[in-house]
Structure 1
């Protein structure tokens, strides 16, 4: 016996944590996964986003859904919650980034990352069931192709790679991916509600692959347990304290010990723990670089909406993301949809105004538009059938911009705050996103014969961009002066502690990062020895 309750405790069950759970159980380790969110069977997901108790994550208010929303001074963040992490509410979109990502100076000198990660991308695609080209086409796909042509970038248009079991729509079948070892699946019905939670059973969430297989090999997963402390023990190993998620009074605190810990709580959760544990002295050797190079994927969420639902435009029919194009070398645009009835997130949308103006002029622009055409603006802004009238434009960039996160006191509590960091300022708006949204709106008018208009978001009006891909802050580096973890994802100064999630990503990938997080995790875990065997990874200086 090791003297520890577990060999490895994993904090979080998203793309990094799920890989760790499977690969470590395969190597003989005793593994326990703590997940703050709840566990969902297919029928447990909300039918539409209006079922806020099952859709939104606000555990203190009794909402235990899949959609987290966090806010910092410089960005509003959309993230996931539940056993399976972001895979429960992400858009199934699994692109591999271009060469610029692998050549970023933060980590380029440590390895030939594009070559070294290549086999792990292959493994990640196989495990996540990637279909390299979305196999359907309809009005949205035609609109996107036309918008790309109108912008002079038609050659960059493509159908997206997605992690969905298409099969025969609605038909239940034995596991088609892992020789029958995984769960049964149901063919995609193109209902559009991937990001609310797939009630069909077609979406390749982590509960359909990595986590299902990890549990079969003995991994223990505890949902609704929020990790409040990770403390380095003087004799080696760590003590991990958890409490019941959302508890006001009966916290049911418990502590377990483990020889090693994997932090995979998503960028927000992992940074929260690292910052607070450094502050309290529970993890005293965490680098002062924690919080630096926090990335937003240089992202914006804009779009286009029509005043009514034309018969010719089935905008809500399909999976969440189906196509993309590049506005320029650094700017990638994808269409996004919610299914019929899932209109709640439309409350974030409003008139598109130029981000170059002052706050007063931006607000004035919204008011002026409403005064000039009140009926049109009321119809455009209505949440009634919003998902059936609009196309969201998710815009991502490979630009070298970042934030620096730190702790500050507010009302007696330590919370995360942000400041502009290395590189260009994190953008409050993207002119390229506005161009793309206007081109999409123009094609909607031509395709559907109805009034349509480009739309921005309320946070953007106030100079706060939206991102669905919050990354970095505990990045790979050559030394603790330049980052938080080494090339094997071990925390500098605490080599038994590992960061294996989006917080490790050192640069803006300019595409959806889930596949990259999975490939990085596969590489990191491939270097772990089998339980009881010699660890051949180079030792950290002083360890």
Structure 2
């Protein structure tokens, strides 16, 4: 029998979420494999000729293994990517943070239900910053030549000024200069990053060709293959292309099995395979992740799977016969990146009216003018018109072929259209769509513009006003005639939530009821970002990985917004209204012996460690009450339980009398968690402080004896037989670090810290005397 391949982590997809996870997990030392269905594209390999573009679509059933995957659903069409780097290969480089007040909590939706984000802008701020540093972003450099003369940038700025709208230059993931701080100049070789580029091809600065959305052949776009994925490969991640995941299963003994097919474009053959892992990150894009999870039918999956779908308010329109700033010549939308500037429409949440959004200038490269061939020739029927007619007949006949890649592969033609300025809109549409599988296993999406009509009308009206100011002719895209939109930002389908009734995964992307399974792409978003979603997806993945690796993040204010208090809030863990809280962090390491009930049996067994933040919500109350109870939050790292597991509920008691009446005192720990198989587990631990020689103070206060039990027994419940036991220790270096972690919040912080310190030392003085004792179980 062939041995199954097993690794620590498998990541399905290599877009913004998957690439971040690939680097962070590999950097943490996990054996990490990335499965990407598409090819790798080095600079110079993206298709450009009509013949190449005709094959640049993804539909293996038609022997197409290209970059673009085009979908048609009820109410919307979508264009997504297939290639190493995912959507970063074909997006327009905009890296905007989600507006702070657009992280809504229980905002009612028009036809029932609500939109709720279990994370806040504050939760994501450090992770936004990390992603921006790693990718490298800066606004379009209009302060330098030749960038200051870009016609479409000036046009949108002028229109915004006359209409009293907010105009700005968003951060772009483009290298305009050879290195950070360099003066921007086109076509100059880029400085080498601290890690080798996985393509091994020279990259140059942006040459202002407008080819961002069809793959940058100069490497000036800071796409994920040039940034996170190159860093991941340098750290040992195994990046496997042309490997399409078909389903996931539970693995016997814990973890997951991932079933895939390996494509060979030369022969058309497909080779099936499977790989096992303890941690599985779904990052195949909104459609890919939803289709895989829906088809896999994993037990315990939330009924929210498939819900909260939206197109992020995407709307494409056109301004024809647009003139330059001097109104003398037709505006050329080329000679710049696809997007250089934006107008922000305020939301009712931040002082505007209705649901907010953005309007961004668009562009296209001159060489693709042949795709517009018939549009400028009176009396001829262009291939684009033929395509729309075929779509109309398809609509009338009820055909349900939702993948249009093969059909679009035939859509090539040519001509020139000077003075045409595309406008790209996006914003907070209504996330009330549903993704599902039809009887033949094909993905469907039930979403229409109807419930978002007010938002789209506002967006279109603003675009029409921009056309009027620029003395241009406004036109909707042809699909709008049938109330359809084209979305390049599909979101939702496996949304975050506070509990399984609300979402598929929690605020860290971990799927409810399926520990070790994560969602790290647009599918996890419970509603529209409003702005371009790439940076928010990357930041959420950064936060997910931080929690996965270190387990030291607070769930955030969004997790409890609008709901009953969490267990931690009921029992402590936050500062009392008029009191002073105190917290410190403790890290211990040691061994676990499976099947042993005696934690003093020795040090043989597998490793186990934890890192806890102990929080006393009110120091005065804590010192006065006999049980001296505090909240313990953090993680337990136990390979036998699936690696690093979050403490779901933790209790700590300081200097409580031993139950046997001996006069000994204990520090007690009770930590509830769930192993990788979804089984509830509880670590019950204690430190003995025995009357005796003061020389025992160090060993007694830095040695924890513990047992692990099945279930989540409370302190007044019988724990049942131990699954295993062991001892943990604090090393001197970790103890010295622990001393630096003490924090207070509230009035009289320093006084509270001194009171706690005096109490702690006083208790030690009271305990230790001339008599020694042996620890008892």
TM-score of the aligned structures, taking structure 1 as reference length:
0.83
SS at 1:199 equivalent? coil
Ranges in structure 2 where 5+ consecutive residues have no aligned partner? 107-113, 178-184, 348-355, 377-391, 393-412, 551-606, 610-636, 638-643, 649-672, 681-777
Q: Out of 349, 357, 380, which is 1:331 matched to?
A: 357
Q: Distance in 1 between matches of 2:68 and 2:508?
A: 30
2:582 is aligned to none
2:283 is aligned to 264
* 2:133 is the alignment partner of 1:153: no
Matches within 5 A, 1:44-63: 44-47=45-48, 51-53=52-54, 55-63=56-64
With over 3 angstroms needed to count, the CA separation of the structure-2 counterparts of 1:131 and 1:307, relative to structure 1, is closer
2:97 is aligned to 96
Cα offset, 1:47, TM superposition: 2.5
Q: Distance in 2 between matches of 1:346 and 1:454?
A: 18
Matches within 5 A, 1:366-381: none
With over 3 angstroms needed to count, the CA separation of the structure-2 counterparts of 1:456 and 1:186, relative to structure 1, is same
With over 3 angstroms needed to count, the CA separation of the structure-2 counterparts of 1:39 and 1:134, relative to structure 1, is same
Q: Distance in 1 between matches of 2:280 and 2:136?
A: 28
1:127 is aligned to 134
Q: Out of 241, 244, 267, which is 1:226 matched to?
A: 244
1:384 is aligned to 415
Cα offset, 1:40, TM superposition: 0.5
With over 3 angstroms needed to count, the CA separation of the structure-2 counterparts of 1:160 and 1:300, relative to structure 1, is same
With over 3 angstroms needed to count, the CA separation of the structure-2 counterparts of 1:119 and 1:414, relative to structure 1, is same
Q: Out of 310, 330, 342, which is 2:368 matched to?
A: 342
Contact (CA 8 Å) 1:303, 1:440: kept in 2 or not?
no
With over 3 angstroms needed to count, the CA separation of the structure-2 counterparts of 1:107 and 1:231, relative to structure 1, is same
Alignment root-mean-square deviation, CA: 3.0
Q: Distance in 2 between matches of 1:159 and 1:397?
A: 17
Q: Distance in 2 between matches of 1:185 and 1:348?
A: 36
Cα offset, 1:250, TM superposition: 2.8
Q: Distance in 2 between matches of 1:515 and 1:91?
A: 12
Cα offset, 1:56, TM superposition: 2.9
SS at 1:480 equivalent? coil
SS at 1:389 equivalent? coil
Q: Distance in 1 between matches of 2:167 and 2:102?
A: 21
* 2:188 is the alignment partner of 1:162: no
Once structures 1 and 2 are overlaid, which stretch shifts more, 397-406 or 67-76? 397-406
1:276 is aligned to 295
SS at 2:158 equivalent? helix
Cα offset, 1:171, TM superposition: 1.3
Count, aligned residues: 492
Matches within 5 A, 1:71-470: 71-105=72-106, 110-111=118-119, 113-135=120-142, 136-137=147-148, 138-150=150-162, 152-154=163-165, 156-167=166-177, 168-175=185-192, 178-179=193-194, 181-182=196-197, 185-245=203-263, 250-278=269-297, 283-306=298-321, 311=329, 313-329=331-347, 330-343=356-369, 384-386=415-417, 388-409=418-439, 413-420=440-447, 425-427=451-453, 430-445=456-471, 452-470=472-490
* 2:526 is the alignment partner of 1:515: no
Cα offset, 1:432, TM superposition: 2.9
Deviation by residue 1:414-469 (Cα, 9 ceiling, x = unmatched): 12223349x97244982233334334434554xxxxxx422222322222211111
With over 3 angstroms needed to count, the CA separation of the structure-2 counterparts of 1:134 and 1:49, relative to structure 1, is farther
SS at 1:60 equivalent? helix
Q: Which runs of 4+ in 1 moved over 6 A?
A: 246-249, 307-310, 347-350
Q: Distance in 2 between matches of 1:238 and 1:220?
A: 18
Q: Distance in 1 between matches of 2:33 and 2:134?
A: 21
Q: Distance in 2 between matches of 1:172 and 1:320?
A: 21
Contact (CA 8 Å) 1:47, 1:199: kept in 2 or not?
no
With over 3 angstroms needed to count, the CA separation of the structure-2 counterparts of 1:181 and 1:440, relative to structure 1, is same
Q: Which has the higher contact order (CA 8 A, sep 6+)?
A: 1
1:485 is aligned to 505
Q: Distance in 2 between matches of 1:416 and 1:521?
A: 25
Deviation by residue 1:5-26 (Cα, 9 ceiling, x = unmatched): 2111110000000001000001
Q: Distance in 1 between matches of 2:520 and 2:154?
A: 38
Q: Distance in 2 between matches of 1:222 and 1:490?
A: 24
Deviation by residue 1:138-197 (Cα, 9 ceiling, x = unmatched): 2101211222234x233x01112101000231111322xx44655753111100001111
Q: Distance in 2 between matches of 1:516 and 1:19?
A: 12
1:68 is aligned to 69
Q: Distance in 2 between matches of 1:419 and 1:303?
A: 27
1:372 is aligned to none
Cα offset, 1:45, TM superposition: 0.6
Q: Distance in 2 between matches of 1:269 and 1:437?
A: 32
1:19 is aligned to 20
Ranges in structure 1 where 5+ consecutive residues have no aligned partner? 351-362, 364-381, 446-451
Q: Distance in 1 between matches of 2:156 and 2:259?
A: 48
2:7 is aligned to 6
Q: Distance in 2 between matches of 1:127 and 1:417?
A: 36
SS at 2:538 equivalent? helix
Q: Distance in 2 between matches of 1:343 and 1:275?
A: 40
Contact (CA 8 Å) 1:485, 1:499: kept in 2 or not?
yes
Q: Distance in 2 between matches of 1:109 and 1:70?
A: 27
Q: Distance in 2 between matches of 1:528 and 1:245?
A: 31
Contact (CA 8 Å) 2:74, 2:447: kept in 1 or not?
no
* 2:518 is the alignment partner of 1:498: yes
Q: Distance in 2 between matches of 1:80 and 1:487?
A: 26
